[in-house]
Structure 1
Amino acid sequence: MSSPTIATDAQLARWERFRAGRNAALAADHGWLTLTSFQWLEEKPSDVEFVPGLWSTDGTTAFLSASAEDGLTFVETGNTVEGTISAVLHDEESLMWVQYGGADGKQVVVELAMRADKYAIRTRDNGSPVLTEFRSVPTYDYNPDWVIEGRFEAYAEPQDVPIGTANPLVDGVHRSVGEVVFRVPGVRHEIRLHAEEEKLGALNVTFHDETNGDTTDEWRKVFIPRPRPDGSVVIDFNRTINYPSAFTPYGTCPMPVRGNSIDVRVEAGEKLPQD
């Protein structure tokens, strides 16, 4: 990027507020930094790592059998789990189901999840070193040159595009509602990236760039405010963030749509957590 622009105090202040909110959200109890396992459930009631009780599934329903001595309680009510309980989820749904451990019995939350039409559990442990040692995510310095004007070209109807995820056993689907089109200084061609729709008409763009595997994770994402009536958008790559899979091996985060790549180094936004 040539002829760097100097950021204004107002731009820096807005970005610093964004970073403070992002770091606080990551440090939340039982958040993404607390994942300590991902385990598929089997048909036969079985022990699972870290968690009391016997767990199983018949393919449509998940079951947990436990006694009061196991120390499991329901996340929602705090009531003790005794006997056999069950839950039904649809694909991609999750349920913060039961909890145990610690002085208050709430240190570890067990998340029941349906991924690739199969049941799994993830443990979310507030004692995880990834959380207890977390201070902030490393980032590139704010650079106003990475605030780029573009346009959104909506599809007549959303298109479901098959994608991979951070877990090789789990496939995903990207519901593309259109393409974000823009130019990067120093690159002659237009760049087109598939976008998903978020709340209130905002867009979510997941992409590769030339920093991946060097200073940044294998892919990242950026949220774009709702397009203006004429379709124009502002893409602030300084707000590019990592998926949870950058912090934990237990995520099932979506990969970019094939071809959702920017063929330059996007030296903006979050870096690899360990940098």
Structure 2
Amino acid sequence: MTTTNADNNAQFVQEWREWRAGWEQFLTAPFGWLAATALNWVDAEPRQYPSLPGLWWQEGKKLFVDPQGQTMSYEGESFTEVRGLDLSEAPDDVRITVGDLQVGVTYRDQYLVVTYDPQAPARNDFRGVPVYEPEPRFVLKGRFEPYEETKSVSLDSVETDSHVYDSPGIVRFSYGDEEYALSLTSSVNGMAAVFTDATSGVTTYGACRSLLIPEPDGDGTVVLDFNRALNLPCAFNYLPVCPVAPPENRLPFAIEAGEQTPYETSK
């Protein structure tokens, strides 16, 4: 039986819908992005921060926590006394459980702690994310060009200072008659590009959107499916720290694909 363009398009749309359903399920998880209720930078003074049980402070590269009589747990191990944790080499957003809450911890020379509460209004009132309809013309082929060694790149951040990220290389691709190059960052899910385009600040979130870059083929070929461009967590509630697209990732044309500005941001 011959496969038609209509069949291919129907399969493309169906796969996109299944992916969207999975992504929104992730967003609405009890301790997902929408559950974030407070963000605090920890300093050397033991403090009790709003919406965050216990006392928290930093000494060198260690984060100290005094549960003050509550039971906390990290990596399955419970503790009720003062605990010092060196999370300077840990992945971003490792979690400490405190009763019905979770605390996400990220190290940027200073410790950032984000409180996640399943009862957060943003999670309970969630009504989906506005998106463009899937469009095959925004599925583009690119070529991954790795650096000889991973580079450190500094990216400005929404509402705070710049931070350093690992960059494994760039990806080049063509759109229209022009060639473009996106600088990539490493993430727990592989490689990603944070970018803006002519829709940014108009129909999409102004700081950037993010596109996961799949594993390259043997010859370096990658598929850039902008229909799967996502908002970063700061687009929903301004709390988590998110990078701003670097100058080389600010595309001059409109990518009318992927997620648009969340309802929560556009109020």
Q: TM-score range by the shorter chain?
A: 0.7 to 0.9
Q: Residues of 1 paired with 2:220 and 2:51: CA distance? A: 50
* Shift in alpha-carbon separation, 1:204–1:76, aligned structure 2, 3 A: closer
Structure 1 pair 67/182, CA: closer, same or farther in 2 (3 Å)?
closer
Give the aligned partner of residue 197 of structure 2. Answer: 209
Residues 183 and 120 from structure 1, CA distance in 2 versus in 1: closer, same or farther, beyond 3 angstroms?
closer
What is the alpha-carbon distance in structure 2 between the residues aligned to residue 8 and residue 132 of structure 1? 34
Cα gap change, 1:46 to 1:215, in 2 (>3 Å): same
Distance 1:122 1:261 in 2: 29
**Which residue of 165, 173, 176 maps to 1:182?**
173
Partners of 1:163 and 1:258 within 8 A in 2? no
Name the counterpart of 2:257. Answer: 268
Offset, 1:72: 4.0
Identity percentage of aligned residues: 30
Correspondence for 1:250 among 221, 239, 255: 239
Question: Once the 2 structures are TM-superposed, how far is the Cα of residue 181 of structure 1 from its aligned partner?
Answer: 1.7
User: Could you list the per-position Cα deviations for residues 64-104 of structure 1 after superposition, in whole angstroms to 9, with x for gaps in the alignment?
Assistant: 22433xx44325548462x422222106644322313xxxx
Change (3 A) 1:230 1:59: closer
Partner in structure 2 of residue 127 of structure 1: 119
For 1:166 and 1:77, the matched residues in 2 are separated by: 32
Residue in structure 1 matched with residue 143 of structure 2 by the alignment: 151
For residues 76 and 153 of structure 1, the distance between their equivalents in structure 2, rounded to whole angstroms, comes to 36
1:113 and 2:101 are equivalent in the alignment: no
CA distance 1:193–1:66, change in 2 (3 Å): closer
Contact 1:150 1:232 (C-alpha < 8 Å) held by counterparts: yes
Counterparts of 2:121 and 2:94, CA distance in 1: 24
Letter aligned with residue 245 of structure 2: P
Provide Cα deviations, 1:144-164, integer angstroms capped at 9, x if missing partner.
Answer: 111112322333333222211
TM-score by length of 2: 0.85
SS in 2 for 1:212: coil
CA 1:45–1:156: 2 relative to 1, 3 Å: closer
Distance in 1 between the 2:255 and 2:164 partners? Answer: 25
* TM-score, scaled relative to structure 1: 0.83
In 2, Cα distance between the equivalents of 1:155 and 1:60? 29
CA distance 1:180–1:61, shift in 2 (3 Å): closer
SS in 1 for 2:157: coil
Q: CA RMSD in A?
A: 2.5
Whether the 8 Å contact between 2:114 and 2:240 is mirrored in structure 1 is no
Q: Which amino acid aligns with 1:13?
A: Q
**1:51 paired residue number:** 52
Q: Secondary structure at the match of 1:42?
A: coil
Aligned residues: 257
AA aligned to 1:204 is A
Q: Which residue number corresponds to residue 130 of structure 2?
A: 138
Supply the distance in 2 between the matched residues of 1:74 and 1:271 (Cα, whole angstroms). 37
- Shift of the 251–199 alpha-carbon distance from structure 1 to 2, 3 Å rule, reads closer
Unaligned runs of at least 5 residues, structure 2:
none
Contact 1:160–1:173 (8 Å) recurs in 2:
yes
Matched residue, 1:234: 223
- In the alignment, structure 1 segments of 5+ residues that lack a partner are 101-105
